[in-house]
Amino acid sequence: MSMDSLIIVENLYRYYGELCAVHDLCFEVRRGEVVGFLGPNGAGKSTTMRIIGGNLAPSGGRVLINGIDILDQPMAAKAELGFLPETPPLYRDLTVDEYLAYCARINRIAAGQRRAAINLAKERCGLTAVGRRLIANLSKGYQQRVGIAQAIIHSPSVVLLDEPTVGLDPIQIREIRSLIREVANEHSVVLSTHILPEVQSVCDRVQIINRGRLVLNESIEQMREKLQATTLLVALRSPPPVSELESIDGVVSVEPVDDGRLRIGYEVGNDPADAIVEQAVANGWGLHELTPERMTLEQVFVEITTGDLHGHGESEGEAA
Ligand code: ATP
């Protein structure tokens, strides 16, 4: 384990009765890192976030926040931690200022420093103009900002955000995303979400959880490599025999697609597009389309989370 890991999750389990919602989860989050935590509905994201946030006891395993065990020393660990749960703990009858003053108190910020902490959190979350407004009367996007403000008010080293953009309109989503990026300048962030472009635009690393198990843990760079195009879709009016296409340098596979086009697979770094165009012109193949096929994070996600259904049977031993 690295000294610079602000979150260390070791062999985490959580059962709800018979149901194993989190199964032997292990991962670390380093200082300054933004990790996107993805998974289909019911995968165990919220359960994991609530355990890391100290709001739910695990059935087994350990969570260290900046080296402090959240079970052994919950108060000390929580001082290092800001948490925006799926349902933000907002008091709708309070004004933004009153609510943040309350949060500053329960986070044990010294009386003399509370005003400055509140002002800074409001400033960072774009709430300075609405301090006197009742939370109940704010738009959902602004309520979410208040939720993020309470998570960062005590300058924790780790901030957990559980689906922070759920239920927001596209403009609010953009605003909250840029706020998250800003928060990430000073804190390590774990962000659970369903929105895949959000992960690509905000995160350094992607973790995918499925049925309580970690099924992917990769940096955005590794993902980018994985998502690089390695197939071309080609439409030819008078195609040559497949063997002729297969003999082009770099081509590793040629398969017909339903609509009459051909899917041409090639080696990474050896794109045969130019050669195909040249030969098509020289031999009169009638090339009228050539498109690189990029895999999206969404496809990877679907492939991993549906493919995994076959990998882990329900009957598998799940002793903690
Ligand atoms: P979503 O994206 O829908 O919020 P999630 O990935 O956050 O899903 P969890 O909420 O952690 O998933 O739920 C994981 C599993 O545990 C689900 O099957 C859920 O039904 C079950 N579960 C969650 N909370 C409880 C509870 N209090 N009692 C019983 N089962 C629960």
> pLDDT tens across 36-70, in order?
999 988 999 999 999 999 999 999 999 999 999 99
Give the DSSP letter of residue 68. E
Query: What integer is the mean pLDDT of 253-281?
Result: 91
Listed residues 107, 137, 155: the one ending a domain: 155
Domain that holds residue 277: 228-293
Mean pLDDT of 154-177: 89
CA 211 to chain centre: 16
49 in ligand 1 pocket by Cβ < 6 Å? no
Read off the pLDDT band of 306 (50, 70, 90).
confident
Q: How many A from CA of 160 to the centre of ligand 1?
A: 17
Rounded average pLDDT over 20-38: 94
Specify if 221 maps to a domain. no
C-alpha 85 to ligand 1 mean position (Å): 13
| Ligand 1 center from residue 210 Cα (angstroms) | 12
Q: Which of 155, 176, 205 is the last residue of a domain?
A: 155
In the Cβ-directed half-sphere of 105, how many Cα atoms lie within 13 Å? Answer: 6
Q: What is the mean pLDDT of residues 296-301?
A: 78
Q: Please provide the average confidence, as pLDDT, over all residues in the chain.
A: 89
Q: Which of 13-27, 188-202, 240-254 has the lowest mean pLDDT?
A: 188-202
The whole-number pLDDT of residue 311 equals 39
Q: Which of 18, 38, 46 to mutate to test the pocket of ligand 1 (most atoms within 8 A of CB)?
A: 46
Verdict on whether the full-model pTM lies above 0.75: yes
Q: How far is the C-alpha of 100 from the C-alpha of 118, rounded, in Å?
A: 6
Q: Which residue has the higher pLDDT, 304 or 26?
A: 26
Contact between 37 and 215 under an 8 Å Cβ cutoff? The reply is no
Place of tokens 């045969």: 272
Which atom of ligand 1 is the closest one to the Cα of 212? 14
Pocket lining: 12 vs ligand 1, CB cutoff 6 Å: no
In a domain, 286, yes or no: yes
Q: Which atom of ligand 1 is nearest to the CA of 43?
A: 6
Number of domains in the chain: 2
Specify if 151 maps to a domain.
yes
> Taking 50 as the threshold, does the pLDDT of residue 241 lie above it?
yes
Q: What is the CATH number of the domain that holds 270?
A: 3.30.70
Torsion angle (degrees, nearest 10) of CA 179, 182, 183, 188: 130
Please work out whether the CB of residue 20 comes within 6 Å of at least one atom of ligand 1.
no
44 CB near ligand 1 (under 6 Å): yes
Ligand 1 atom closest to the Cα of residue 17 is: 29
Residue 165 lies in a domain: no
In a domain, 163, yes or no: no
pLDDT, tens only, 110-139: 999 999 999 999 999 999 999 999 999 999
Q: Which of 7-16, 138-147, 242-251, 304-313 has the lowest mean pLDDT?
A: 304-313
The ligand 1 atom nearest the CA atom of 39:
6
49 domain residue, yes or no:
no
Give tens-digit pLDDT for 190-223. Answer: 999 877 778 888 899 999 999 999 999 999 888 8
In a domain, 252, yes or no: yes
Segment among 16-25, 98-107, 138-147, 222-231 with least mean pLDDT: 222-231
Residue 197 lies in a domain: no
> Taking residues 297-306, what's their average pLDDT?
79
Q: Could you tell me the pLDDT band of residue 30, with boundaries at 50, 70 and 90?
A: very high
Question: Quick one: what percent of the chain has pLDDT higher than 90?
Answer: 68
pLDDT for 126 equals 92
Alpha-carbon distance 261 to 287, whole Å? Answer: 11
Query: Which ligand 1 atom is at minimum distance from the Cα of 194?
Result: 2
**Hey, which residues does 291 pair with through a beta bridge?**
233
Residue 279 · residue 262 · CB < 8 Å: no
Angle 81-85-88 (CA atoms, 0-180°, nearest 5)? 115
